[in-house]
Amino acid sequence: MSFDRDAGGRRIARRGGGGLVTALSGLLAHHDVTWIASAITDEDRLVAVERGSEPIEEQTREGSSYRLRLLAHDPLAFDRFYNGVANGAFWFLQHYLWGLAEEPVVGPDFRVGWSDGYTPVNRNFADAVVEELGREPGSAVCFHDYHLYLAPAFVRERRPDARLTHFIHIPWAQPDYWHALPGDIRRAVHEGLCANDVVGFHTERWRRNFVQSCEAITECRTETAVYPIAIDAGEFEALRESAAVLEEERKIAETRPELLVVRVDRTDPSKNIVRGFRAFGLLLERHPELHRRVGMLALLDPSRQDVPVYAAYRAAIERAAAEVNEQFGDGTWRPVDLHVADNFPQSVASYKQFDVLFVNPIFDGMNLVAKEAPLVNERGGVVVLSENAGAHEQLGAWTLTVNPFDIEGQADALYEGLTMAPAERKRRNAAISAFVREHDIEAWTDAQLADLDRLTSTILS
Amino acid sequence: MSFDRDAGGRRIARRGGGGLVTALSGLLAHHDVTWIASAITDEDRLVAVERGSEPIEEQTREGSSYRLRLLAHDPLAFDRFYNGVANGAFWFLQHYLWGLAEEPVVGPDFRVGWSDGYTPVNRNFADAVVEELGREPGSAVCFHDYHLYLAPAFVRERRPDARLTHFIHIPWAQPDYWHALPGDIRRAVHEGLCANDVVGFHTERWRRNFVQSCEAITECRTETAVYPIAIDAGEFEALRESAAVLEEERKIAETRPELLVVRVDRTDPSKNIVRGFRAFGLLLERHPELHRRVGMLALLDPSRQDVPVYAAYRAAIERAAAEVNEQFGDGTWRPVDLHVADNFPQSVASYKQFDVLFVNPIFDGMNLVAKEAPLVNERGGVVVLSENAGAHEQLGAWTLTVNPFDIEGQADALYEGLTMAPAERKRRNAAISAFVREHDIEAWTDAQLADLDRLTSTILS
């Protein structure tokens, strides 16, 4: 949720996308919620200043009411918090993306980012939570993700009886890799999280890693649980028939080859897009009989393009796609159809049209595309899925499993998916769809709140 | 041990250095040993062909006899084994050195390296072991390091009652990071090692990682143990007074500043030399009072310079040293004195002369410099030691601990070491020396053989 001005200078609210919004949609439907969030746009900051600590009454697309409280941090502190520490360090660490010979360099700049960015912004959140708990004592407090590792401890100091739960949307790295940050910082992260009554993860693998890194790094312990995030199946089943999606689908259907491999991702190094194109090139090298019959549609949402590593990764993506097209394509056939744009209706349209969905992240907390796309697919499409995507823990029995570093294995899996017998394709696709429909987003929220109720009432009794 | 021709065309034997030779010296002194090794030089290959399966009778510097059996592998297979898989993959994986967004790429080349390099060379070793066991049934077989992960299983297949122990000289990575290789390869590594009766590591940390990765990756289990490698204290105490060392020491003593920081390493990315220079630069930036009083002597043995990553790392080392000298030095003062050369007497001389020894590896199985240098030091020198060096598990109580990514923390530790009270410096230095003298290399070997005897006799009883 963010505010902006329209061309006429009127304030308008924009609703965002992504995992956090999915997570919230389950919560907002049936609970009385105050959402505390950072002011991002200039207009957000104006709203935050106008309102002070008074939340704004808002409504979801589905009509549920909630209160939104925007925090206007110091802009430099926010940049250090968001770009420097959260996305610049924790994102890379927790996806094992650093080349440790060169990165990270923890010097004076990083220390300032920690002391004058990540820490005060977390303290702002904690202050707001404490204030809200003054208004609504006993409320459950739900922290989300790698931006707020310190806030729970700051709240706990001042409200020992607060009821705190934290959900981590990304992988948890094993303790050796946490040693890429100095002892005081890695301890503060684990101690901050252990101030929660319970910490939740998408998979047993990430949960176990967290328990292990707590043991290796700090004396603190807390309850942990696995809550694999779900999607709002009804939303995608409605979207499937929306005018915007049908229009995008018409365009894809007009130009698609007989066999279509689809990938939908942000242009993030963790998504492994370059190796994906190399694997597709290897498929074409080994299977000339597929030339002109198969194509890869890559729909990539440009991500963090003001960060040099991300700009370089986008350039590498474009080079890798061009290499495949130069090696195998000609005037009438372009094997890789690359779109770097934010076009959600086009993504949903591609979900309907794939024969093989290619999801090969290096590491990924869950990966929602692997759940969304099979649900709306209409061709009995096969999912090729990385063993390092959280979704693999739930869906692996019905997907073709690949190692994300193994481009030969990925080429083989693409081939297997493209040539699989129709009955087997349909069986697997139906199994994933049924699973995704059965596990809905409201159950995901309710499980977390039920655990928090159980754990905090035990402590109080 | 390797063979060459001298200027007159006569065959000469050269004795090597490093951890493996240290390891062998304990074994050769009191045991009847056949050493099976790869032929490396052209002359080695001639020797191997001349002798066939007949070992050569050799003697150590100390006069102990042993038999050397050289294996002449197919040269292309050996290159794939040694440079491709062992040093190109396992070294990087087990030191967490890959930037996973780009490396590794497991494609057809890697697969050929595995099937036509690593596997057949391991099979050659296993064949030779089986043949030697035919001559000397019941012998203990001691495998060493990351080159021979498959050989134990190949031996076990054919000699179910063989007595096999394996020592790993480098770190063991945690299971998530082993997922940088495809499932069949990571399983073969763990299954190969589990064919041993016991697998040994330098530290409890690496041992625990191995147990954990066995659990995550394969059904196999085996006994594990911790044998922190020792050094031959007598050898270094003799070297200290050798003519070559005294001559090098004279040169250092003539030119050294009042306070000398020393580092001695191979030019390997795992050694963290670039961050080390940046930390030293930060020390100079923060402490102008040390200008002209302190210098860093960096003695670096050039390593694997035919490998592009290593050549690039050496260039980065030279740039980083030049940057510090340009920023802080002048016509008469050069803060960093960098020598890229293989000069062992100079290294030992620097061990005697340091005020602070700087050992900051990213990850390191043990690091013998941290044991050798304090033993011969004559100035009550302080050791600044990475928490990720295996030596830290034994020596950490007497060193200044640093995180290898934290250049600010390293600058602070260098300062603390340089300004530490003399009595405290001497106390710590004496404690390390005493520890190193007490734990000798023969005890290291004997512990492994005793465990193997105990484990295999238990099984037989």
Which pLDDT tens digits describe chain B residue by residue (461 residues)? 677 777 787 877 776 656 667 777 777 777 889 999 999 888 888 888 888 888 898 887 778 888 999 999 999 999 999 999 999 999 999 999 999 999 999 999 999 999 999 999 999 999 999 999 999 999 999 999 999 999 999 999 999 999 999 999 999 999 999 999 999 999 999 999 999 999 999 999 999 999 999 999 999 999 999 999 999 999 999 999 999 999 999 999 999 999 999 999 999 999 999 999 999 999 999 999 999 999 999 999 998 898 999 999 999 999 999 999 999 999 899 999 999 999 999 999 999 999 999 999 999 999 999 999 999 999 999 999 999 999 999 999 999 999 999 999 999 999 999 999 999 999 999 999 999 999 988 899 999 999 999 999 754 44
d(CA A405, CA A137) in angstroms, rounded, equals 50
A179·B388 Cβ contact <8 A = yes
Nearest CB partner across the interface for A408, out of B102, B107, B275 = B107
Instruction: Find the angle CA(B229)-CA(B365)-CA(B148) to the nearest 5 degrees.
Output: 85
Q: What tokens were used for A380?
A: 């009995």
Quote the pLDDT of residue A58.
85
Other C-beta atoms lying within 10 Å of the C-beta of residue A225: 16
Q: Which residues of A touch B115 (CB under 8 A)?
A: none
d(CA B142, CA B123) in angstroms, rounded, equals 16
B409·A98 Cβ contact <8 A = no
B96·A99 Cβ contact <8 A = no
d(CA B446, CA B165) in angstroms, rounded, equals 12
Q: pTM here?
A: 0.95
B100·A97 Cβ contact <8 A = yes
**H or E, element range at A45:** helix A42-51
- Which residue out of A112, A174, A275 would a mutagenesis test of the B interface target, given it has the greatest number of B Cβ atoms within 10 Å? A174
d(CA B73, CA B79) in angstroms, rounded, equals 10
Q: Characterise B380 by phi-psi region: left (phi > 0), alpha (psi -120 to 50), beta (else).
A: left
Distance of CA A345 to the CA centre of its chain: 19
Distance of CA B186 to the CA centre of its chain: 23
Query: What pairs with residue B339 in β-bridges?
Result: B299
Nearest CA of chain A to the CA of B60: how many Å? 37
Quick check: A429 and A410 in contact, CB under 8 A? Answer: no
Other C-beta atoms lying within 10 Å of the C-beta of residue A439: 16
Using a CB–CB cut-off of 8 Å, the residues of A that contact B are: 96-108, 111, 173-177, 179-183, 209, 212, 269-270, 272, 274-275, 278, 282, 313, 362-363, 387-388, 403, 405-409
Name the E strands within A267-379: 294-301, 336-340, 356-359
Q: Which residues of B touch A362 (CB under 8 A)?
A: 100-101
Nearest CB partner across the interface for A313, out of B101, B272, B387 = B101
- Pinpoint the residues of chain B covered by CATH 3.40.50.2000: 73-230+441-460, 233-438
Contacts 24+ apart (CB under 8 A), A331-335: A333/A291, A333/A292, A334/A295, A335/A280, A335/A284, A335/A291, A335/A294, A335/A295, A335/A296
d(CA B166, CA B189) in angstroms, rounded, equals 13
B405·A176 Cβ contact <8 A = no
Quote the pLDDT of residue A65.
87
d(CA A377, CA A359) in angstroms, rounded, equals 15
Nearest CB partner across the interface for A362, out of B101, B209, B278 = B101
Residue owning tokens 């744009």: A341
Name the E strands within A389-461: 400-402
B406·A182 Cβ contact <8 A = yes
Q: Tell me whether strands B198-201 and A163-167 are parallel, antiparallel or unpaired.
A: unpaired
Average pLDDT over residues A137-143: 95
The domain A73-230+441-460 having CATH identifier 3.40.50.2000: the answer here is yes
Nearest CA of chain A to the CA of B368: how many Å? 21
Q: Which residues of A touch B105 (CB under 8 A)?
A: 275, 278, 405, 407
- Which residue out of B93, B95, B100 would a mutagenesis test of the A interface target, given it has the greatest number of A Cβ atoms within 10 Å? B100
A409·B105 Cβ contact <8 A = no
Average pLDDT over residues A298-326: 96
**Which residues 6+ apart lie within 8 Å of B112 measured at CB?**
B80
- Which residue out of B105, B187, B405 would a mutagenesis test of the A interface target, given it has the greatest number of A Cβ atoms within 10 Å? B405
B407·A105 Cβ contact <8 A = yes
3-state secondary structure of A440: strand
Nearest CA of chain B to the CA of A307: how many Å? 16
Exposed e or buried b for every residue in B152-175, given b needs 16+ CB within 10 A? bbbbbeebeebbbbbbbbbbbbbb
A282·B107 Cβ contact <8 A = yes
Among A163, A167, A190, CA closest to A459 = A163
Using a CB–CB cut-off of 8 Å, the residues of B that contact A are: 95-108, 111, 173-177, 179-183, 209, 212, 269-270, 272, 274-275, 278, 282, 313, 362-363, 387-388, 403, 405-409
Count Cβ atoms within 10 A of the Cβ of residue B150 and give its class: 0-12 exposed, 13-18 middle, 19 or more buried: buried
Other C-beta atoms lying within 10 Å of the C-beta of residue B54: 8
Q: Which residues of A touch B95 (CB under 8 A)?
A: 100
Among A157, A169, A168, A159, CA closest to A190 = A168
Nearest CA of chain B to the CA of A258: how many Å? 27
d(CA B56, CA B408) in angstroms, rounded, equals 53
d(CA B82, CA B170) in angstroms, rounded, equals 15
d(CA A79, CA A113) in angstroms, rounded, equals 9
What fold does the segment set A233-438 form as a domain? Rossmann fold (3.40.50)
Nearest CA of chain A to the CA of B16: how many Å? 27
Quote the pLDDT of residue B11.
77
Count Cβ atoms within 10 A of the Cβ of residue A13 and give its class: 0-12 exposed, 13-18 middle, 19 or more buried: middle
A407·B101 Cβ contact <8 A = no
Instruction: Find the angle CA(B445)-CA(B443)-CA(B271) to the nearest 5 degrees.
Output: 70
Count Cβ atoms within 10 A of the Cβ of residue B422 and give its class: 0-12 exposed, 13-18 middle, 19 or more buried: exposed
Quote the pLDDT of residue A30.
77
What is the Cβ-side half-sphere exposure of residue A72, based on CA atoms within 13 angstroms?
Answer: 16
Which segment of A25-29, A163-167, A196-200 scores lowest on mean pLDDT? Answer: A25-29
Q: What is the 3-state secondary structure (H, E, C) of A69-104?
A: EEECCCHHHHHHHHHHHHHHHHHHHHCCCCCCCCCC
Chain A: residue nearest B184 by CA? A403
Q: What tokens were used for A459?
A: 């402590």
d(CA B98, CA B91) in angstroms, rounded, equals 10
Q: What is the DSSP string of B371-392?
A: HHHHHH-SS-PEEEEETTBTHH
Among B85, B275, B360, B104, CA closest to A96 = B104
Query: Amino acid identity, residue B320?
Result: A
Q: Characterise A52 by phi-psi region: left (phi > 0), alpha (psi -120 to 50), beta (else).
A: left
Query: In whole numbers, what is the pLDDT of chain A averaged over residues?
Result: 94
User: Is A224 a residue whose pLDDT tops 90?
Assistant: yes
Q: What tokens were used for B270?
A: 């795992």
Of residues B28 and A226, more confidently modeled: A226
Among A260, A246, A168, A276, CA closest to A214 = A168
Nearest CB partner across the interface for A100, out of B97, B111, B209 = B97
B97·A102 Cβ contact <8 A = no
Tens of pLDDT along A165-192?
999 999 999 999 999 999 999 999 999 9
CB pairs under 8 A between A and B: 122
Quick check: B169 and B163 in contact, CB under 8 A? Answer: no
Other C-beta atoms lying within 10 Å of the C-beta of residue A32: 11
3-state secondary structure of A445: helix
Contacts 24+ apart (CB under 8 A), B252-258: B252/B297, B252/B346, B252/B349, B252/B350, B252/B353, B253/B353, B255/B337, B256/B295, B256/B297, B256/B353, B257/B292, B257/B293, B257/B294, B257/B295, B258/B293, B258/B294
- What is the C-alpha R_g of chain B? 23
Quote the pLDDT of residue A61.
74
Nearest CB partner across the interface for B107, out of A99, A175, A407 = A407
Other C-beta atoms lying within 10 Å of the C-beta of residue A387: 17
Query: How many residues are listed for chain A in this entry?
Result: 461
**H or E, element range at A244:** helix A243-255
A406·B106 Cβ contact <8 A = yes
DSSP A116: I
Compute the Cα dihedral for B265, B271, B274, B276 and give only its sign.
negative
A177·B101 Cβ contact <8 A = no
Quote the pLDDT of residue B250.
98
Distance of CA A50 to the CA centre of its chain: 32
Q: What is the DSSP string of A151-202?
A: HHHHHHHH-TT-EEEEE--S----HHHHTTS-HHHHHHHHHHHHTSSEEEES
